Amino acid sequence: MGHLRPLRVQVEQHVLRWRTYRGRATAEMFLSLLAVALEPRGWRLVRLYRPQGFPVPLLWVYAGGPDDHVGLGVVVLAVPGGAWGYHDAERGRRGYLAPCGDAKAAAEQVEDLLKHRMFPGTW
């Protein structure tokens, strides 16, 4: 038989998922704070907060050129200990960027990831 995770871990994951989906207003607030930190840096932003489009609010941060676009979706997910964290939407929980109390650090992480995607040899 396959390996089963301990019940405590399974319960914690369900609780985090529940907090994330119930915390839409909290996520929108933290994403708005991140947007404020990113705007002066010159990145383009699209706020995708409507519940009809995505299961959780999403902030799309991108740089557009004449031929292509480079972007990163950022979501806010509940993390253990009652806190919230910014995450790369594509990677989910494995894409942790920064705690939500530090929008400046999250903006720096987002900027570094986008610059690396634009210029892969500069990491």
pLDDT > 90? residue 50: no
Place of tokens 């909290």: 26
Predicted TM-score of the model (pTM): 0.87
Q: Please report the pLDDT score of residue 1 as a whole number.
A: 47
Transcribe 79-101 into DSSP letters: ETTTEEEEEETTTGGGGEEEETT
Residue 26: Cβ within 10 Å count? 16
What is the Cα–Cα distance from 61 to 46, expressed in whole angstroms?
Answer: 7
> Could you report the per-residue pLDDT of 64-102, keeping only the tens digit for each?
765 667 899 999 999 999 999 999 999 999 999 999 999
Q: Of the ranges 80-84, 101-105, 113-117, which one carries the lowest mean pLDDT score? A: 113-117
